């Protein structure tokens, strides 16, 4: 197991977990390697790893390690 910081909380993930795994776990939706929801529709979510945006195309190949800080954001009401 490795402990990653997701949206300011410690989350235990399996070794060699990727951004796809972290997003699937956070949103509770099953995702393809391309980062698309298996149940169809758009996900509407973006990810920053240590302050840098990780494009969806790189989610499946970006491994997470101890001490990584992940922000998973979405659209909310505002403006």
Residues that bind another protein (CB under 8 A): 7-8, 26-28, 41-48, 51, 53, 55-56, 71-79
How is residue 66 annotated by DSSP?
T
Of the pair 26, 62, the CB lying nearest another protein is at 26
**Cβ contacts of residue 73 below 8 Å, gap of 6+?**
45, 46, 47, 48
Instruction: Select 15 or 71, whichever has its Cβ closest to another protein.
Output: 71
Shortest reach from residue 73's CB to another protein, in Å: 5
């Amino acid at each position: 197991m490795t402990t990653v910081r997701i949206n300011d909380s410690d989350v235990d993930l399996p070794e060699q977990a990727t951004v796809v795994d972290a997003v699937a776990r956070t949103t509770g939706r099953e995702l393809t390697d391309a980062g698309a929801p298996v149940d169809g529709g758009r996900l509407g979510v973006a990810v920053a790893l240590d302050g840098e945006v990780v494009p969806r195309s790189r989610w499946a190949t970006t491994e997470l390690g101890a001490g990584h800080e992940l922000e998973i954001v979405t659209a909310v009401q505002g403006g």
